[in-house]
Chain A
């Protein structure tokens, strides 16, 4: 039994069986990991975030049984887990990666994102990686749409500023 997370999932019956939820979580793993990677930029941290998110989702599977939008539900969990992980990482000594010789754009992007506030990284990932609308981001982060627009603008400016350093 395969349950796609792309679109039909939203139209499933309100109550899912535990077996369906297991399949749902299994199929969601690649997407969840890549979203975590887009936010954290570090594969190891993304893996931990994904594992944590899957564990939390498993524990809350009763909520997942009746969630109207399981994809949005899972996205919220992984974003919160990523924010927690980034918050913990921020308390660690800063990893000076500016010494990397001839960095590719990808590495340079990771270095630049690492200098940003975790919330800015989440906003950029949700807007550019997940391609969510302002209203969807606002719903996820529980902030007004206007706030999303202004904070996303600020996040982009922060990225540009750090990029030019």
Chain B
């Protein structure tokens, strides 16, 4: 260890500046499919799981297998994100909120507005 503790401390912060960012955060750049969007306010992770299984199941050719693997990887990452978002939504449910209603915070999200518009349409 160095004599001055501030040296390793600053070195640690330099490491932080280049730390790899978790995939589940960076992949939020990907557009979220409608079925995954639907699964968040409804808490329907099981619904999303069925879709993921459908994505994984039954590839025959190499191209299908590669495509399925890519979809599987994407689904896995997105599920991780959805799980986190759902947990956050649940834990931050305002007082008096009734289970089954879409929380106000979710209603204010950009994707919810577009989804709601598609419902109305």
A contacts, CB < 8 Å to B: 18, 21-22, 26, 29-30, 33-35, 37-38, 41, 43, 47-48, 50-52, 54-55, 58-59, 61, 105-106, 108-110, 112-113, 124-125, 128-129, 156, 159-160, 163-164
Residues B22-48 near A (CB distance < 8 A): 22, 24-26, 28-29
For residue A114, give the distance in angstroms from its CB to the closest CB of chain B. Answer: 12
The answer for the CA separation of A65 and B42 in the assembled complex, in Å, is 28
Chain A residues lying within 8 Å of B24, measured Cβ to Cβ, are 47
Residues A128 and B109 in contact, CB atoms below 8 Å apart? no
Chain B residues lying within 8 Å of A29, measured Cβ to Cβ, are 21, 25-26, 28
Q: Is B10 an interface residue (CB 8 A)?
A: yes
Q: Is B88 an interface residue (CB 8 A)?
A: yes
The answer for the CA separation of A29 and B27 in the assembled complex, in Å, is 10
Residues A18 and B110 in contact, CB atoms below 8 Å apart? yes
Chain A residues lying within 8 Å of B105, measured Cβ to Cβ, are 55, 59
Residues B25 and A59 in contact, CB atoms below 8 Å apart? no
Residues B17 and A129 in contact, CB atoms below 8 Å apart? yes
Residues A61 and B16 in contact, CB atoms below 8 Å apart? no
Q: Is B98 an interface residue (CB 8 A)?
A: no
Residues B1-21 near A (CB distance < 8 A): 1-2, 5-6, 8-13, 15-17, 19, 21
Residues A105 and B2 in contact, CB atoms below 8 Å apart? yes
Chain A, residue nearest B6 (CB)? A156
Chain B, residue nearest A50 (CB)? B25
